[in-house]
């Protein structure tokens, strides 16, 4: 099996018969949705491949190869009348240089459009003749010339724009915030706004028949609405939720073939799917309750290719192509109250709740307006590091971290902001190493007491003992190379605070499985003990305090029930170490 990892060229995938999860049945639905459409999905989620699929399907120059390219797919078995009947013009704004002032960016944008128009003219010369003039300093004049030439033929033009918001977002999120440059691009007669005004005019009787645009967020579209207010956003349409991304049954079928090819036991396909479900599944792009979760396609292909090539799981579950998404979390964390939201997202017991997804991310709101939780959480959703998680009893939208690789991005951001530097990292790793292999939680508790919790003295989260402590343990202990880590894990009829189950491919090493149950006690609940006294008491003296002893016994009883369930599930593979921990205020741990 040949996997198209890193390939977004549909023709190459089809001709070379690489693995392709067929989404061409959606083409008919797309036609029915409208003529000018916008699809928003996170980075590296298959948007470019979908545009390439549309380009191949409608391309006049590839009409005679339609059977070769699509005959084995849904669209080939039931084609629409428009297939193979369009001139295709493709723009990709991710290739436009965002550096320099507004004039430099305008020049880069116009050069890109001119290059793409010239490529179309070269491709369709037999139909267009030599009547298209390329104007070096004004690509919109070139665009008008192309449209005039198209109008003299019996065919129509289909414009595909990939990453429409890419370079504008880079300008907005740059270190100097570049507000003046951004306003010059999207305001008044700015370069971006002018381009989309020209697209709108062309689609209203100017010879442009269809437009399909992809991007990550509605940031730019909010600022150019008056210039392009006829676009239909299909990003939350339930029937198109899997337009980009894979469903679990599709992955399961491929895994069975790989396992058979590798000569591995048949149950290995089940284990591999469980791993992929934890690390890669969980994205939802519709608000209907029956919408299935979607797998990230880039990560899935990364895993499947590695497994097919080497018959082993990849050690690093996070593909480097997606690691830069942590920059998006860092961007939100540096906005007012953004840090609190980043920490709160790690609490799986309390999904982040907003009234509705925010779509009007104009520059004024981004840089100056009072930013609500709904605003910040919506940005994290569009960036792909939160996803739809249903509605609460009042119909409000709930958002959650989709999976373990994204959880890692949050953890790394917190580690860098709260535990910076070589020395702290060395101490943390030393404490974790003893815990992973020997089950000694003492060094971890002392590290969190002395190094982690004091950071919260002046932070927004200091009021929330449970959230702070769970975040602390998850952040300090996180290791997805060795463990499948989860907080509030469902075990039997209960939910443990933190589970660390060894990855199947890491059981050859010295890792122990761990379950941690945390209990919380206010300092005021210990009669005659103040903060100074608490610091002087030994662990043994604290353990015999009636309130602390009762909580430790309660946690131990819960851990005993968790152990029974896990031993039934994992059998002899399990090497379980359980840990009951009581947190007193945000000052001391007792274990």
pLDDT of residue 456: 65
Residue 461 has pLDDT above 50, yes or no: no
pLDDT of residue 557: 96
pLDDT of residue 326: 79
Average pLDDT of the residues of the chain: 90
The dotted CATH code for 10-240 is: 3.40.50
Beta bridge partners of 500: 485, 514
Residues 191-216: b if buried by 16+ CB within 10 A, e if exposed: bbbbbbbbbbbbbeebbbbbbbbbbb
Q: What is the pLDDT of residues 508-567, one digit of tens each?
A: 999 999 999 999 999 888 988 998 999 999 999 999 999 999 999 999 999 999 999 999
**Where are the domain boundaries for CATH 3.40.50 in the chain?**
10-240
pLDDT of residue 42: 92
H-run or E-run covering 426: helix 422-438
Residue 394 has pLDDT above 50, yes or no: yes
- Proportion of the chain above pLDDT 90, given as a percent: 68
Task: Please say whether the beta carbons of 64 and 406 come within 8 A.
Answer: no
Region 87-112: mean pLDDT is 90
Give the residue carrying structure tokens 């010369």: 125
Which of the four pLDDT bands, split at 50, 70 and 90, describes residue 172? low
Residue 138 has pLDDT above 60, yes or no: yes
pLDDT of residue 365: 63
Residue 369 has pLDDT above 60, yes or no: no
pLDDT of residue 103: 87
Task: Look at 38 and 490; give whichever has higher pLDDT.
Answer: 38
Task: Look at 488 and 292; give whichever has higher pLDDT.
Answer: 292
Which of the four pLDDT bands, split at 50, 70 and 90, describes residue 359? confident
**Which residues are CB-neighbours of 188 under 8 A, at least 6 positions away?**
none
Beta bridge partners of 39: 214
Please name the residue ranges forming H helices in 88-159: 102-123, 125-128, 139-151
Region 219-225: mean pLDDT is 74
Region 102-122: mean pLDDT is 94
Rounded distance, CA 555 to CA 551, Å? Answer: 6
Q: What is the pLDDT of residues 400-447, one digit of tens each?
A: 999 999 999 999 999 988 898 999 999 999 999 999 999 999 999 999
pLDDT of residue 225: 66
Q: What is the pLDDT of residues 43-66, one digit of tens each?
A: 889 999 999 999 999 999 999 999
Give the residue carrying structure tokens 């005019």: 201
Chain centroid, CA 422 distance in Å: 29
Q: What angle in degrees, to the nearest 10, is found between the helix axes of 267-280 and 297-310?
A: 150
- Proportion of the chain above pLDDT 70, given as a percent: 94
pLDDT of residue 455: 77
């Amino acid at each position: 099996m040949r996997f198209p990892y890193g390939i977004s060229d549909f023709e190459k995938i089809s001709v070379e018969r690489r693995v392709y999860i067929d989404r061409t049945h959606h083409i008919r639905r797309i036609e029915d949705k409208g003529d000018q459409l916008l699809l928003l999905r996170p980075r590296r989620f298959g948007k470019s491949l979908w545009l390439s699929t549309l380009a191949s399907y409608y391309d006049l120059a590839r009409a005679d190869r339609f059977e070769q390219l699509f005959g084995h797919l849904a669209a080939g078995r039931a084609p629409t009348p428009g297939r193979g009947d369009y001139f295709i013009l493709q723009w990709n704004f991710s290739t436009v240089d965002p550096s320099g002032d507004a004039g430099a960016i305008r020049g880069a944008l116009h050069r890109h459009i001119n290059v793409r128009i010239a490529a179309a003219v070269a491709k369709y010369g037999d139909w267009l003749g030599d009547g298209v003039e390329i104007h070096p300093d004004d690509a919109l004049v070139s665009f008008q010339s192309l449209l005039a030439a198209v109008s003299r033929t019996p065919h129509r033009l289909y414009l595909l724009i990939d990453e429409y918001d890419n370079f504008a977002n880079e300008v907005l999120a740059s270190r100097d915030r570049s507000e003046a440059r951004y306003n010059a691009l999207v305001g008044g007669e700015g370069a971006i706004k002018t381009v989309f005004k020209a697209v709108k005019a062309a689609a209203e009787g100017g010879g442009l028949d269809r437009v399909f645009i992809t991007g990550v967020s509605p940031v730019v579209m909010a600022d150019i609405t008056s210039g392009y207010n006829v676009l239909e956003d299909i990003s939350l349409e339930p029937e198109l939720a899997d337009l980009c991304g894979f469903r679990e049954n599709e992955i399961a079928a491929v895994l069975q073939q790989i396992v058979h090819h590798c000569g591995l036991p048949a149950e290995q396909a089940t284990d591999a799917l469980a791993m992929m479900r934890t690390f890669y599944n969980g994205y939802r792009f519709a608000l209907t309750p029956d919408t299935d979760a979607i797998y990230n396609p880039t990560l899935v292909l990364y895993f499947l290719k590695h497994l097919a090539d080497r018959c082993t799981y990849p050690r690093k579950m996070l593909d480097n192509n997606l690691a830069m998404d942590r920059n998006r979390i860092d961007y939100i964390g540096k906005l007012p109250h953004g840090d609190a939201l980043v920490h709160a997202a790690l609490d799986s017991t309390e999904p982040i709740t907003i009234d509705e997804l925010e779509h009007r991310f104009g520059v004024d709101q981004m840089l100056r307006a009072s930013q609500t939780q709904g605003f910040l959480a919506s940005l994290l959703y569009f960036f792909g590091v939160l996803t739809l998680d249903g509605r609460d009893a009042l119909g409000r939208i709930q958002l959650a971290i989709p999976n373990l690789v994204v959880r890692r991005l949050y953890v790394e951001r917190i580690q860098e902001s709260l535990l910076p530097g070589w020395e702290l990292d060395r101490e943390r790793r030393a404490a974790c190493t003893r815990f992973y292999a020997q089950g000694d939680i003492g060094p971890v508790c002392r590290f969190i007491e002395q190094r982690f919790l004091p950071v919260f003295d002046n932070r927004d989260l200091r009021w929330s003992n449970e959230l702070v402590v769970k975040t602390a343990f998850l952040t300090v202990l996180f290791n997805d190379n060795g463990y499948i880590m989860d907080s509030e894990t469902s075990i039997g009829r209960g939910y443990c605070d933190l589970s660390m189950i060894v990855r199947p491919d890491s059981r050859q090493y010295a890792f122990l499985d761990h379950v941690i149950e945390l209990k919380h006690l206010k300092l005021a609940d210990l009669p005659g003990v103040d903060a100074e006294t608490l610091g002087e008491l030994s662990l043994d003296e604290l353990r015999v305090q009636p309130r602390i002893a009762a909580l430790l016994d309660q946690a131990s009883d819960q851990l005993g029930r968790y152990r029974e369930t896990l031993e039934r599930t994992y059998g002899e593979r399990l090497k379980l170490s359980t840990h009951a921990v009581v947190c007193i205020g945000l000052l001391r741990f007792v274990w």
